[in-house]
Amino acid sequence: MDAGFYGNGVKKTRLTERISNAMQAAEAEDAKTKRGRSRLCNPFMSSLLGPAIIWKYFPKQSEALEYCRSIADVHIFAFECADLPAGARRFLVTSYEHFWHDYMLMDDDQRALYEVIPEETPVKLYFDVEFVKDTNPQANAEEIIVLFLSLLSQTFTEVFSVPLPLENLVQLDSSTLSKFSQHFIFPKAVFRDFRHAGLFVTHFCRNLQDSTSDDVKKLFLHSKDLSSPTVLFIDQGVYTKNRNFRVYLSSKLGKKNPFVLYHDSPLQDLTQKEIFFLSLICNTQSCKSEDLLHFDTEKFPVGKLSQNTSESVSRRFRSDGDRPSLTSSNLPSPFPEVDKFFESVITADGLMGRIRMWQYFAESQTVLYSIGGDYRFCGHIGRHHRSNNINFVACLKSGTYHQKCLDVECKNYRSQNYKLPLVLVNEPASNESAVPGDRDESVPDDSMNEEDGETFDAQGDKLLADMSSPDDY
């Protein structure tokens, strides 16, 4: 027997060297990116049959995705910390087991982590539902959830000819005194990827929107105040490429309302680890490829923003060139579904953003939204501006939109194109993402820049009013 394996003060084995090197590399990477989170109190020790020790940080999501493709049995998590600009995130690649080990060593107020849902990965059926309590005093949350699950089960059976599997349904709650917020994850309903899950959800939501039932109307609630239009309490913007979905026991940075198991859930006897693994959207290894769900768009066409509607509005308001053919600061645009989407973005999580003006360009079928209130998130600096407003430009022809800014430091910045939600367009393109901001969402790689100085641009409104074409933006 080699005494070097057991003896003291002897040469390390290859396995212990590998563990030591991996730990040192993780420590160095941690110090380099200054994320301000607790490091390992007790090192995660892998068994020969267990997951490899991989714990690697990346400043950009694209780099994490590229690395993850080359390594088996690892996954991507996004996180926020106090050292980063508001709204910016960093990315971690590791195994589920290793993540859980370190996750449990973190203080509660440090947990601000998200599961990244890659575009070609099978996913469990999932929902993000929410409404503001103060503006919907008549809303009975338990009644709404029972109705939601009943209608969802009906639609699922109609589409897939099998009952909706409710076994181990994970219902997580992050509600506060002012806001109802829950996640639903169905571990036994696994789709080919986020697109197929999103198409099914779009079909379900469109059925609800077309219904005249008084019961179904209970799922449509006021987003801001009692005089505001009602919107479906299902967030349809979470089915996008590389979505960041907040995980069990995590809060948003600076908040103290983590997602916990709903008090009435039948999973109360499970351990926290079991609940965590069930709640992971991409933890689908046990599902066979032949059992993956595909949404048939030929059998169930998904409605989209009517091309005829867009063309008729274009003809009605067409003007010479592509100057604004219709402008308003107090009326809805000709495209209320698009209005509602941007309203949902700028009022998420208690923000008081508003559409203070819109301009419609008939020639290019483009709508420019000037955003007011306290929603000022700019992808260039990765956070909200302190004073200056931002704009969204929606191109109805391509079903995309981008963000621009009125701040003088960001005047030449134009974000990447994002796809409008599936409820407005048919099937998302491969380069789609979600607008960066305060919701659980994808964060573009160009949103990680250092903070810039700001000065209020008093010419912002004049610049907007004088704009001759959406191409200027």
Measured distance CA(412)–CA(408) in Å, rounded: 8
Query: What pLDDT does residue 396 have?
Result: 86
**329 within domain boundaries:** yes
Query: What pLDDT does residue 461 have?
Result: 40
Measured distance CA(155)–CA(300) in Å, rounded: 11
**209 within domain boundaries:** yes
End-to-end CA distance of the chain: 74
21 and 163 share one domain: no
221 and 165 share one domain: yes
List the pLDDT tens digit at each of the 473 positions of the chain. 444 433 444 444 454 455 556 556 655 655 554 444 343 344 555 554 555 589 999 999 989 999 999 998 999 999 988 888 777 889 999 999 999 999 999 999 999 999 999 989 999 999 999 999 999 999 999 999 999 999 999 999 999 999 999 999 999 999 999 999 999 999 999 999 999 999 999 899 989 988 999 999 999 998 777 777 788 999 888 888 889 999 999 999 999 999 999 999 999 999 999 999 999 999 999 999 999 999 998 899 875 444 444 444 444 444 445 555 566 655 678 788 888 889 888 887 777 888 888 888 877 888 999 998 888 888 888 888 877 889 999 998 888 899 998 777 787 889 988 888 765 654 333 333 333 344 455 444 433 332 222 222 333 444 444 444 445 45
329 and 235 share one domain: no
The answer to whether 155 and 148 have CB atoms below 8 angstroms apart is no
Query: What pLDDT does residue 373 have?
Result: 83
61 and 157 share one domain: no
The C-alpha R_g of the chain, in whole angstroms, comes to: 24
139 and 255 share one domain: yes
Domain count, the chain: 3
Task: Give this prediction's pTM.
Answer: 0.65
**116 within domain boundaries:** no
291, 323, 346 - which closes a domain: 291
Query: What pLDDT does residue 144 have?
Result: 97
267 and 230 share one domain: yes
User: In sequence order, what are the residues at sequence separation of 6 or more whose Cβ sits closer than 8 angstroms to the Cβ of residue 367?
Assistant: 333, 335, 338, 358, 359, 360, 361, 393, 394, 396
Residue reference for tokens 């964060």: 443
pLDDT (tens digit per residue) in 16-75: 455 556 556 655 655 554 444 343 344 555 554 555 589 999 999 989 999 999 998 999
CATH of the domain at 233: 3.30.70
45 and 129 share one domain: no
**35 within domain boundaries:** yes
150 and 287 share one domain: yes
Query: What pLDDT does residue 468 have?
Result: 45
266, 291, 316 - which closes a domain: 291
Structural domain boundaries enclosing 447: 307-472
333 and 408 share one domain: yes
110, 137, 156 - which closes a domain: 110
**117 within domain boundaries:** no
217 and 246 share one domain: yes
The answer to whether 253 and 452 have CB atoms below 8 angstroms apart is no
98 and 38 share one domain: yes
**12 within domain boundaries:** yes
Query: What pLDDT does residue 137 have?
Result: 93
**165 within domain boundaries:** yes
Query: What pLDDT does residue 47 have?
Result: 52
328 and 181 share one domain: no
**296 within domain boundaries:** no
